[in-house]
Structure 1
Amino acid sequence: MRTHLEFRAPRFVGGANGINPDIDGSKLAVFLAEEFGTLEFPTSVIEEDWGWMVLLKEEPFRLWLGCSSYDAPDGWLVFRACQ
C-alpha cells in the first residue's frame, strides 16, 4: 500500500514554516484539515520542523497526514502515519 502522494499545485505556495523557513506547506495542511472537517472528522494542524501534521482525531487509533513542500516550488508531498 502506498503511504505517500507527490503532486504539483501552485495554489498552495506561500505557507512558510516558522520552525524551518525552507519548508512550505501550511496552506496545503489547512486545506486538508478543512476538507476533513466537512466530513465531520475533528482535526488539528501542528507545525513541525519537517512540515505540518494534520492530526485526524478519530478512535480507536489516530491517523495523521504529513504535508511538506517537495522537489519544486509548487511540488508537495503528503504522507500518512498511524499512532
Structure 2
Amino acid sequence: METIEREFEFAERTSKKQPFDKRLILHMLDQIELGVPRRDLMEQYGVSELSLIRWMKKFGRQPIGPKRYTTELKRSVIRAVQDGMS
C-alpha cells in the first residue's frame, strides 16, 4: 500500500524563543501515531525530546506512561504460565 504524502505548510520559527506553530505540533503527533520514529521528527524539525514528550502528553491521542493491566488479565496470564505457556 502506498502512502500519499500531502503538502504541509506551517509557519517557520524565526528565533528559538518563538513557539512552534500548533499545526506543526499536531502534524508531528499524527506522524508519531503513524509510526514515524520520534528521533527522525526531532532531527527534521529541530525539536527537543522534552518538548515532544510534553506535546504528546498535552495534545496526543495515545496515552503516555506505564500500561495498566486489570486484575483479571493478570490472573489469566498467571494461569496460562502455570499451565505451561511461556
- TM-score normalised according to structure 1 size: 0.27
Higher-Rg member (1/2): 2
Q: Higher relative CO (CA 8 A, sep ≥ 6), structure 1 or 2?
A: 1
Q: Which has the higher helix share?
A: 2
Q: Which has the higher strand share?
A: 1
